[in-house]
Chains A and B, each alone.
Chain A
Amino acid sequence: MNIVRAHILVCRGTGCSSAHSEEIFKRFEEELKAQGMADEVKMIQTGCFGLCELGPIVVVYPEGAMYTRVTPDDVSEIVSEHIVKGRIVQRLLHTEKDSAEVVADLSKTKFYEKQTRVALRNCGVINPENIDEYIAVDGYEALGRVLTEMTPEEVIDIITKSGLRGRGGAGFPTGLKWKFASAPAPVKYVCCNADEGDPGAFMDRSVLEGDPHVVLEAMTIAGYAIGAHQGYIYVRAEYPIAIHRLQIAIKQAREYGFLGDDIFGTGFSFDIELRLGSGAFVCGEETALMTSIEGNRGEPRPRPPFPAVKGLFEKPTILNNVETWANIPRIILNGADWFASMGTEKSKGTKVFCLVGKINNTGLVEIPMGTTLREVVEEIGGGIPNGKKFKAAQTGGPSGGCIPASLIDTPIDYESLAAIGSIVGSGGLIIMDEDTCMVDIAKFFLQFTMDESCGKCSPCRIGTKRLYEMITKITEGEGTLEMLDEMEELCHHLQKNALCALGQTAPNPVLSTLKYFRDEYIAHVVDKRCPAGVCTKLLTYEIDPAKCKGCTLCARNCPADAISGKVKEVHVIDKSKCIKCGVCMSNCKFDAIVKK
């Protein structure tokens, strides 16, 4: 084996790839070749490191130096300074907020220090396109142990005892789900839900991109536990890198005999097929996902019968989401007690969240259940940018709710979030500051659920539309106080009567904002005012005569010819012509345009 003196890890997750990390990787290869060092330095492309805000990220070992926001032009400097001369390039290291000190070792940053990585343990560590690297970190050992030393009952038992609950949203106990599907039947299926549709959530994608084999291993373990021989992974078409890596992983696993006939010579056979979604949010619902794999419109089916009895192609089926699968091999290797020692009494283990929106450290964080929202926002997330105030956190995507600043000390676990009208959901955690209008956010999610409603059941099809119409009127200053009560009532009907979780949870963003931010709704309805300055119909743009220099820039750029005034004289906006596009405000060099 070739011994190398340094490893260069380049993040090839979606975030960093979007910021040209592929080119950075290529430049490194070229540069090393040019310097004659291609044999002594190993280049590795990894999955997501998690700290997407600072991407593209490059880590150089043995020092473990983490370079952030690297551009292709920085490559030759890193090679000639760090690799050739052994001098770390200080200017590209991460500087912690409120500290002048640069941090060379990434595990020492506040962002990583508070995290516990179980599901993400291999992301950013191994090359996801090389099965040997997965095997080197105990990959497929859990599968070997299960097939050679354990009975199916023992496998289900250890998963049940660990307390693992589904990470896709509903939080159903995983062991129990497997037990329901373990009743004898000739044909059964194991499915992986990789149709991660919640906007602002990308943890499943990061696992698939950074550690695809863990999902294959876990699904095979489940196949053995319930007596299934075929698995399906249903993955979003919007995730091309994840799809590519899964295809490679499946091929490699077949070559090594971890998938296919007679795995480990035990006589057990299991194979996995990849199916792509085509952009329908409702297909993240388990029965809709199965209908879609069958080749139909992805409409949900009534439950019961539950998938464990009659699922894919009408056979008993278990379906878990990517993050749930990513926990399974670790639980087998480390034991149920180890997993159950993390988290709270009813919510065990860790959960991955995608920390996005108005937050300094955008990225992927994995924390023990029960960590408070404050720890996540202030310590891991590094607070709100531009000195603004934290206003609310939105969890659970279009099915979740908004948590106000007054509840920032709420522990993040299934029970605590449900108690305040939100959900853990798949793990989107969107931070909002004072510039975010909560009525507008509720409207945003309603538009999403209205568009994505499959149309099969009328409570959801009609209910989301009526709710959207009412909230639109409110944002346009045509709302009434009675409307708020009507919306609440309609929300309760939807919760009770919709066929699937999409419709049942669609009211959550409305109900939680009505509960915690009612004053904002009232400002829109009674005062015809949007306090955050977002709802355009309620805004007016004016020019501050004291600041206007008469430079004519705004008048020349106004698309509606609504601004008049002579050179070096104060300009005026004609409100009847103004379309409130904000072009004048973004162009003005003197901050003379005021939005009210």
Chain B
Amino acid sequence: MAKKKTVVPFRGTAEQEAKLRELIAAHKDMRGALMPVLQQAQDIYGYLPIEVQKIIAEGLGIPLEQVYGVVTFYAQFSLNPKGKYSLAVCMGTACYVKGAGGVLERIKQKLGIEPGGVTPDGMFSLEETRCLGCCALAPVMTVNGEVHGRLVPDDVDRILDPIIKDNG
């Protein structure tokens, strides 16, 4: 899937970098270490900006273009930071035939962002995800990983309005 590069300036801390270097050292001699290192680096930073990719490339002795190639190949690796509330609408077949498109459409209208985007205040990010496997609850969306199931478009207001209210 096409990925848009971030415009948010990098704000990594020294503590995060120390963790990352420790991670790289622990995986240095492992065969096929790049994927596990990227996965755990994303846990540390929340996303994989080019600054982090450079440290990994140097640390593992892998060309940066190869690291970038792998990051952009897999859907779970993100070049952008997530919003404070990360929304994901399942676009698996079961959710799709049960009306996930209408739910997604309502979120897009309500927040004014497209999938892959973040609201300007950094509050919400929106994604379409592949099948989450809880098809009995279709259609589903997740808010920071918590599943909301058997949705109709009106549920979007019910779920998002309290969050918007709580955050002023």
Residues of B close to A201: CB separation below 8 A: 131
**Does B109 contact A276, Cβ atoms closer than 8 Å?**
no
Chain B min CB distance to A537 (Å): 13
CB contacts under 8 Å to B, within A361-418, are 362-363, 394, 397
Binds B, one of A158-166, A211-219, A262-270, A350-358: A350-358
Question: Is B132 on the interface with A (CB-CB < 8 A)?
Answer: yes
Question: Is B117 on the interface with A (CB-CB < 8 A)?
Answer: no
Complex: how many Å from CA A216 to CA B147? 30
**Does A276 contact B39, Cβ atoms closer than 8 Å?**
yes
Specify which of B74, B96, B131 is in contact with A280 (CB 8 Å cutoff): B74
Contact A238 to B130, CB < 8 A, known contacts A276-B35, A297-B69, A559-B109 = yes
**Does B93 contact A586, Cβ atoms closer than 8 Å?**
no
Question: Is A93 on the interface with B (CB-CB < 8 A)?
Answer: no
Question: Is B47 on the interface with A (CB-CB < 8 A)?
Answer: no
Residues of A close to B1: CB separation below 8 A: 451
Residues of A close to B93: CB separation below 8 A: 199-200, 356-357, 394, 397, 428, 430, 444-445
Contact A200 to B109, CB < 8 A, known contacts A292-B35, A295-B70 = no
Question: Is B126 on the interface with A (CB-CB < 8 A)?
Answer: no
Q: Which residue of A lies closest to B74 (CB)?
A: A278
Q: Which residue of A lies closest to B96 (CB)?
A: A444
Contact A199 to B130, CB < 8 A, known contacts A19-B137, A356-B93, A432-B97 = yes
Complex: how many Å from CA A297 to CA B70? 5
Q: Which residue of A lies closest to B32 (CB)?
A: A295
A28-72 CB mask vs B (1 if < 8 Å, else 0) is 000000000000000000000000110100000000000000000
Binds A, one of B5-13, B17-25, B148-156, B158-166: B148-156
Residues of A close to B105: CB separation below 8 A: 581
Contact A295 to B35, CB < 8 A, known contacts A18-B140, A52-B135 = yes
**Does A278 contact B39, Cβ atoms closer than 8 Å?**
yes
**Does A275 contact B135, Cβ atoms closer than 8 Å?**
no
Chain A min CB distance to B7 (Å): 23
**Does B130 contact A279, Cβ atoms closer than 8 Å?**
yes
**Does A356 contact B76, Cβ atoms closer than 8 Å?**
no
Question: Is B118 on the interface with A (CB-CB < 8 A)?
Answer: no
Chain A min CB distance to B140 (Å): 7
Chain B min CB distance to A275 (Å): 7
Question: Is A198 on the interface with B (CB-CB < 8 A)?
Answer: yes
Residues of B close to A441: CB separation below 8 A: 97
Question: Is B94 on the interface with A (CB-CB < 8 A)?
Answer: yes
**Does A362 contact B135, Cβ atoms closer than 8 Å?**
yes
Residues of B close to A397: CB separation below 8 A: 93
Q: Which residue of A lies closest to B60 (CB)?
A: A295
**Does B135 contact A278, Cβ atoms closer than 8 Å?**
no
Question: Is B26 on the interface with A (CB-CB < 8 A)?
Answer: no
Specify which of A55, A436, A582 is in contact with B102 (CB 8 Å cutoff): A582
Complex: how many Å from CA A311 to CA B38? 24
Complex: how many Å from CA A363 to CA B134? 9
Specify which of A292, A296, A356, A454 is in contact with B135 (CB 8 Å cutoff): A356
Question: Is B34 on the interface with A (CB-CB < 8 A)?
Answer: yes
**Does B94 contact A278, Cβ atoms closer than 8 Å?**
no
Interface residues on A, range: 35 or more
Q: Which residue of B lies closest to A441 (CB)?
A: B97
Complex: how many Å from CA A451 to CA B77? 15
A238, A275, A358, A587, most chain B CB atoms within 10 A: A238
Specify which of A199, A363, A451 is in contact with B131 (CB 8 Å cutoff): A199
Complex: how many Å from CA A358 to CA B130? 19
Complex: how many Å from CA A287 to CA B57? 25
Chain A min CB distance to B161 (Å): 14
**Does B133 contact A15, Cβ atoms closer than 8 Å?**
yes
**Does B70 contact A200, Cβ atoms closer than 8 Å?**
no
Complex: how many Å from CA A428 to CA B74? 23
Residues of A close to B36: CB separation below 8 A: 275-276
B106-121 CB mask vs A (1 if < 8 Å, else 0) is 1001000000000000
Residues of A close to B31: CB separation below 8 A: 294-295, 313
CB contacts under 8 Å to B, within A256-285, are 275-281
Residues of B close to A454: CB separation below 8 A: 73
Residues of B close to A137: CB separation below 8 A: none
Question: Is A583 on the interface with B (CB-CB < 8 A)?
Answer: yes
**Does A198 contact B75, Cβ atoms closer than 8 Å?**
no
Question: Is B81 on the interface with A (CB-CB < 8 A)?
Answer: no
**Does B134 contact A586, Cβ atoms closer than 8 Å?**
no
Specify which of A14, A197, A292, A432 is in contact with B132 (CB 8 Å cutoff): A14
Complex: how many Å from CA A200 to CA B91? 10
Complex: how many Å from CA A454 to CA B75? 12
**Does A18 contact B137, Cβ atoms closer than 8 Å?**
yes
Q: Which residue of B lies closest to A313 (CB)?
A: B31
CB contacts under 8 Å to B, within A453-486, are 454
Please report B residues at the A interface, Cβ cutoff 8 Å: 1, 31-36, 38-39, 62, 66, 69-70, 73-77, 91-94, 96-98, 102, 105-106, 109, 129-138, 140, 147, 149, 152-154
10 residue pairs bridging A and B, Cβ less than 8 Å apart: A199-B130, A199-B131, A276-B35, A276-B39, A292-B35, A295-B32, A295-B70, A297-B70, A356-B94, A357-B94
The 5 A-B pairs at the shortest CB distance, nearest first, are namely A52-B136, A279-B75, A278-B74, A199-B92, A18-B147
Please report A residues at the B interface, Cβ cutoff 8 Å: 14-15, 18-19, 52-53, 55, 197-202, 205, 237-239, 275-281, 292-298, 313, 354, 356-358, 362-363, 394, 397, 428, 430, 432, 436, 441, 444-445, 451, 454, 559, 581-583, 586-587
Known: A295-B34, A397-B93. 5 other contacts (CB 8 A): A14-B134, A15-B137, A199-B92, A238-B130, A430-B94
